[in-house]
Amino acid sequence: MKEMKFYGKPLPNVEIEAYSGKLIVIEGTDGVGRSTHVALLRTWLEAMGHAVLDTGMTRSVLAGRGIKNARAGHTLGRLTMQLYYATDFADRLENQMLPALHAGFIVLTDRYIYSAIARAVVRGADPEWMRAIYGIGLVPDAVFYLRLGSVEELAARLLASGRGFDYWESGMDLGLGNDYYDSFIAYQKLLLKEFDRMSGEYGFQVIDASRSIKRVENDLKRLITRVIESEQAKTEAMASVAGSPNAKENIPG
Amino acid sequence: MISYGHHRYPGRLFVVEGTDGSGKSTQLQLLYQWLKAEGYPVFFSEWNSSPLVKDTTRRAKKRRLFTPATFSLLHATDFADRTERDIVPPLKAGAIVLADRYIYTAFARDVARGCDRAWVREVYRFAVKPTVAFFFRAPLDVAIDRIASARPTLKYYEAGMDMDWSDDEEESFKIFQGKILDEYDHMVSEFGLTVIDGTQAIRTQQRQMREIVSRYLKEKLKEKVVLTK
């Protein structure tokens, strides 16, 4: 069990009690393979018998659809965008992540507050403002930052995947370049700088994502095993004292 | 990002605040008619009016998806869109903007719902500080009587039913409005709100409002812009 620790003031009505789950964050800029690794890790963790909840940006019941519609129209102002994302985050935190953590789940999240902060700061938002808003965030058990060496490598990878450039991933709203490619390069460079800056502040564990999927996956598995085992040793010690296992099987709504 | 109190625009921003049933919307409507008749370019901005957020809010209210935090953040999102779309551009162009409810509504409601005071103020830090913020103050029983006669049924969030203060809607509404009024009273000195006694005759209140507003108007505001919305 671990005490809940938040970056700032916790949300109102949130139970601040010890939780038995793990909050594991996979961070990184667009196209580094975050969602691939979340899927691989989920399968692996479930095979080992761990209950897993995976979540990511714009996947809230409350605001997900609204954000997608607003993005599709390309009429989303900068301040509005940041607050819409914060709403999405708060909804997922309260209704998905925290209940799952209390029930002993391993929560894998594809991006967390760091991506939201980086995108906002690159768009001219005051970093202190963003940090204050996201003070509601729970401090995770581990943050893995998938990092590519260069932005050009990122672009090549995106093209190889057949996905191509998207308006927002290319930062077209910022007017940094004349076409999607130039804009993408300029925008992702700014993001990368912001992520690197946060790396020390938030204690990211940096994973070199320019290697093969298999090697990155092995690294992640090794590090996550460490996070889980430290907990299991404690739980088992406690259970042998109390004489009863304290596993909860509730699936959060 | 420019923070509250640091925007420098040629236009003027007048806002009205107060509990439900305080008479603020009526007063703003009268002010609007007067300013238009005087020949000023005037724009109107209402609480909860962002086209980007409207559907999400409606759905969340219907399906009761809100927590105090998400209620607060989604309303802030709505307000941000209004700020970027309806408030800042006319102010930059030198027009007059009238807002029915402003950030103080959020501060009062969200804190009444248990959100942290400092956090809510931080969330809205991007807001433009109004030229004058009128607070129409009516005692709780007066406001509740007005609401009761105007609206036969209270809505779930409006009555604060999400907070489990009471199973009775009317009782819950009274508790909620009482907390909101307390918050407003605290904000009078914190934000320099201009208090208008909402129990006076409508014409008396309007006269006071126009007298105060006219101190901030200049002839040149009239010729400054022609804006099409």
Query: Is residue B49 one of the residues assigned to a domain?
Result: yes
Interface of B with A (CB under 8 A): 1, 3, 50, 52-53, 55-56, 60, 65-70, 73-74, 76-77, 80-81, 83-85, 113-116, 118-119, 122-123, 125-126
Domain count, chain B: 1
Burial class (CB in 10 A: 0-12, 13-18, 19+), A210: middle
CB-CB neighbors (< 8 A) of A9 in chain B: 116, 118-119
CATH number at residue B142: 3.40.50.300
The answer to whether the CB of B156 falls within 8 A of the CB of B162 is yes
- Measured between CA atoms, how close is B82 to chain A, in angstroms? 9
Residue B4 lies in a domain: no
CATH of the domain at A138: 3.40.50.300
Mean pLDDT over each residue of chain A, to the nearest integer:
89
Place of tokens 């779930």: B156
Q: Is the pLDDT of residue A249 over 50?
A: no
Average pLDDT of the residues in B162-184 = 93
In a domain, B158, yes or no: yes
Whether residue B226 is predicted with pLDDT greater than 80 in this model: the reply is no
Tens of pLDDT, residues A39-63: 999 999 999 999 999 999 999 989 9
pLDDT grade for B43, boundaries at 50, 70 and 90? very high
Range of the domain at A29: 22-149+199-234
Inside any domain, residue A192: no
Distance between CA atoms of A15 and B8, rounded to whole angstroms?
Answer: 43
Q: Strands, DSSP E only, in chain A?
A: 22-27, 52-56, 106-110, 142-147, 205-208
User: Which range of residues forms the domain containing residue B111?
Assistant: 12-220
A2-6, A217-221, B98-102, B131-135, range with the lowest pLDDT: A2-6
Question: Is A246 inside any structural domain?
Answer: no
Q: How many domains is chain A built from?
A: 1
pLDDT digits (tens, 9 = 90+) for A143-163: 999 999 888 888 888 888 887
Pairwise CA distance, residues A145 & A162, whole Å? 24
- Give A25→chain B minimum CA distance, Å: 22
* Chain A contact set for B81 (CB, 8 A): 77, 80
Q: What is the DSSP string of B97-161?
A: EEEES-HHHHHHHHHHTT--HHHHHHHTTTSPPPSEEEEEE--HHHHHHHHHHH-SS--TTTTTG
Q: What is the mean pLDDT of residues B59-73?
A: 93
What residues in A contact B119, CB-CB < 8 Å?
A: 8-9, 132-133, 135-136
* Residue A163 belongs to a domain: no
Q: How many residues does chain B have?
A: 229
Q: Measure the CA–CA gap between A55 and A35, rounded to whole angstroms.
A: 10
The count of residues in chain A is 253
B-chain residues within 8 Å CB-CB of A124?
1
Using DSSP, state whether A178 is helix, strand or coil: coil
Could you give the C-alpha distances from A194 to A197, A200, B138, in angstroms and in order? 5, 11, 49
Kindly state the average pLDDT of the residues B43-63: 89
Structure token digits, residue B185? 């009273």
Mean pLDDT calculated for residue range B151-157:
82
Instruction: Tell me whether residue A29 is in a domain.
Output: yes
Pick from A145, A149, A148, A151: which is nearest to A206 by CA? Answer: A145
- Contact criterion met (CB < 8 Å) for A12 and B69: yes
Exposed, middle or buried, B186 (CB in 10 Å: 0-12/13-18/19+)?
A: middle
**Which position has the token pair 């950030």?**
B103
Mean pLDDT of A113-135: 95
How close A127 gets to chain B, by Cα (Å)?
10
